[in-house]
Amino acid sequence: MRAFSTALVGALLVAAASPATAAVAAKAGPAKSGAPRAGGPSADVRCLMTMYAFGQDKTRAQAGQMGVYFFAGRINSEAPGFDLAAAMRAEAPKLTPPALQEELKRCGAMVAAASQSLQTSINGLRPPGSAPGAAPGAAAAPVAPSPAPMATPMTPAPK
């Protein structure tokens, strides 16, 4: 995959902060299980590559890595044995700076929605009134400081 410039990564960061990103996430909604998704693995390959480019900024590395793993998992789940290297070579020329900005809006919204859904599910495991970090059914014990929240493409990385 070709190297991405600092200006391009900066443009990706600006796109991630766009209010349009939230609107894309709201419109996308959850995918129906078993139904083929629009764009299929090729769309996910573009997202994987976009998340890789996004993660090249050190302040967004964790969010980018999370996005890469998210889309790699989607690709492997939907198309076992998929030739990722060939697909990346085919998609790379299409990822111009404007295309990357659009892909970041689309893909970042999906990662943010999945991350929020996971966090909501984890929070649902806690008994009512329990502190975050307490295991379900665990006796009250001194709570260690919780780790910094994980950054997503839609939120700034912790400093």
- Count the residues in the chain: 159
Q: How far apart are CA 44 and CA 31, in angstroms?
A: 13
**pTM score, whole prediction:** 0.60
Q: What is the pLDDT of residue 39?
A: 75
Most confident of 92-96, 129-133, 138-142: 92-96
Alpha helices (H) along 29-153? 40-54, 61-78, 84-91, 97-124
Q: How far apart are CA 105 and CA 47, in angstroms?
A: 10
% of the chain surpassing 70 pLDDT? 58
% of the chain surpassing 90 pLDDT? 53
Q: Show me where the domains of the chain are located.
A: 6-28+37-123
Interval 39-59 mean pLDDT: 94
Q: Cα-atom radius of gyration of the chain, to the nearest Å? A: 17
Question: Each residue of 14-38: pLDDT tens digit?
Answer: 344 334 433 333 344 444 444 456 6
Q: What is the pLDDT of residue 4?
A: 43
